[in-house]
Amino acid sequence: MTLLAEMAALALRHAPECGRTSPAPGLLLMRADGTTGPVGGLYGPSLCVVLQGAKRTSLGSRSFRYDAGKYLVASVDLPVTGRIIEASPRQPYLAMALSIDAASLSALLLENEADTAAPPAPGLAICTLEAELAEPLLRLLRLLDRPRDIPALLPLLSREILYRLLQGPQRGMLRQLALAGSPTARIARAIGWIREHYDAPLRIEALARLAHMSPSTFHRHFRAVTALTPLQFQKQLRLQEARRRLLAGEAEIASVGFALGYESPSQFSREYRRLFGEPPGRDGAALRAALGPAGTTADPAALAAVQQG
Type of residue found at 89:
P
Q: How much is the average pLDDT of 30-40?
A: 87
In the prediction, which pLDDT does 296 show? Answer: 36
**How many whole angstroms from its chain centre is CA 172?**
19
Q: What is the pLDDT of residues 74-96, one digit of tens each?
A: 989 999 988 999 999 999 999 99
Cα–Cα distance measured from residue 57 to residue 200, given in angstroms and rounded to the nearest whole number: 27
pLDDT single digits (tens) 237-248: 999 888 888 877
Residues 41, 43, 49, 53: what is their CA dihedral angle, to the nearest 10 degrees? Answer: 10
Task: Please give the average per-residue pLDDT across 10-14, as a whole number.
Answer: 93
Summarize pLDDT for 153-205 with one digit per residue, the tens.
Answer: 999 999 999 999 988 888 888 888 887 778 888 999 999 999 999 888 899 99
Distance CA 248, CA 266 (A): 21
Adjacency order of strands within the sheet including 93-99: 19-24, 27-32, 93-99, 46-52, 70-74, 124-128
